[in-house]
Structure 1
Amino acid sequence: MELNRLQQRFEISLNRADNQLVSYLSNVQQQNLKVAEVHQLEGWLSELWQMWCRFCRTTVVASCTGCSTQAAGPIAAVHAGRGEVSYIAAKQRNGNAPPKHGHNSVLRLEPTWGHIARLIEVIQALSPANTNSLLGGFGTVPQIDEVRIIRNAAAHRNIQTYNEVLAISAGYKATGITHPVEALLWIDPPTGRTLVQARMDDMRIASRNVCA
């Protein structure tokens, strides 16, 4: 697999999602979303988060089982196959691989690939040949995790997850929210874009760096 092509496909999907959001925003009052509009935004967020997690997983698995980039050329495999990569990803602790390698085929046992801190640990445990590129690319965009926090709060609505969303409001031009997904529309002062659009820009940066 050529990582550059993987990145290009991801960015096309990301641009499509961005365009969908722009269209959505042109038809709603951002500070007074109706119930149906909240549900629509929540569905869009779910798809965006799965897209990001899928990109992270595919990039790491390919890096471990053999791939290439235009700049670096071939990247040699360091693990026997996807099952072994999955096993180590599921069993690693604090970036340390399990003492014995095995095989896993139950995907729900794997970590949340889009969770930046967990992803960094998994990369360290797997130690592919392009580890430095992966750690550098993914490690420089920690604010992507805000998307996970909001998505998690929408999926598990309680006072604790709600407060986790409020805790990130200081970095944005924030308004009051009644549903966690409304935080996606807070304004990012440096860019003037919504929170989620600014974090999608981070996803673009990360994907370009890890696949260079």
Structure 2
Amino acid sequence: MAIPVLEAVRSARDHVLSHPDAILKAAIFGLRRQIAIPLDAVRWALAQIPPGKNAPEAVSLRAVPPGLRFDATVAFMGNRLESSATLEVEDVRLGGDRLILVLRVRDLAAKALTPNTPIAQVLASGALDLRNPANMLNFMGKRPPVIVDAKGDRFELDLLQVPKLRDNRALRRILATAAPVFGLTTVRTEGDWLLIGWRPILTGIGEALAAARG
């Protein structure tokens, strides 16, 4: 998904103008080594997803610290599901050839919009334990490449298996340069902010410089 740069800048400007205390809050979070992203910015980015056969619809999110609560209508096995879940980020690992995101999917709820389909019948029967959403992968046959591992409510994703991200040379170079000197510690919500904690890795400066030159 390509987000128009000018529209993103205008959205950020409008958010700051309508929330004059946002800069101060972001600065305070910055002193704590936390990158602060307003959830309004995340909502705006989600709204830019172009419509399509498999695109999510009616997407909304809100903070449920430390996680995010998502509600959306999604495509699954030829059906449309009204779904909601709380996502908590357990770990993030960066590298030139990987972008690993470990998630916990909690409080999952799903309702099929098309009755008399296999997934609708399974959901209606209660046979599928939504407390362990990884079980839903058993209905998909082949696991999507982006899902490295899944068990219970824990999902390990490699976002660089998404073709548009994998083939983005600028992103790959940024990851190769940043990963040796920049470690992510936490990803959580607080108020209406998404906070990304980070720490410097001084021992990786040489590797980062080599990646930047390359």
Question: TM-score normalized by structure 2?
Answer: 0.30
> Between Structure 1 and Structure 2, which shows a larger proportion of strand residues?
2
Question: TM-score normalized by structure 1?
Answer: 0.30
**Bigger Rg, which one:** 2
Between 1 and 2, higher relative CO (CA 8 Å, sep ≥ 6) is seen in 1
